Amino acid sequence: MSIEPVHSSSVSQPSLSTSKDSPAKIKQAATDFEALLLAQMMKSAREASGGDLTADGADDSEANSTMIELGEQQFAQALASSGGLGIAKMIITGLAKNANR
């Protein structure tokens, strides 16, 4: 078995220029990041409160837990898209400031 060398022309390198990083892509990435943080916060809060869907835990199953997590993710995305905690806005501002250097 032989190992063939990889030529640098065959490997695609990510571009470091900001020409491909449009403001819309930056905004979407920042919003997605904020949604991820919000979803993690909601998951942590649910788990800290016991994580039960009902007070007696009768309907607690993996299927219900999965549905709750999907609901939290969608809620977090909706919150982030409507402004959320302002984390996405701070990220966008920071990236724009650093891009002008």
Separation of alpha carbons 45 and 63, rounded Å: 19
Domain coordinates in residue numbering, the chain: 23-48+69-99
Output the pLDDT for position 62: 76
DSSP tag of 12: P
Output the pLDDT for position 6: 57
User: How deeply is 80 buried, as exposed, middle or buried, from its count of CB atoms within 10 A (0-12, 13-18, 19+)?
Assistant: buried
Question: 0.75 exceeded by the pTM?
Answer: no
Q: Please give the chain's pLDDT, 101 residues, in tens.
A: 556 655 555 444 444 444 566 888 889 999 999 999 999 999 999 888 876 666 555 556 777 888 888 999 999 999 999 998 999 999 999 888 877 66
The one-letter amino acid at 58? A
Output the pLDDT for position 56: 57
Output the pLDDT for position 47: 85
Output the pLDDT for position 33: 94
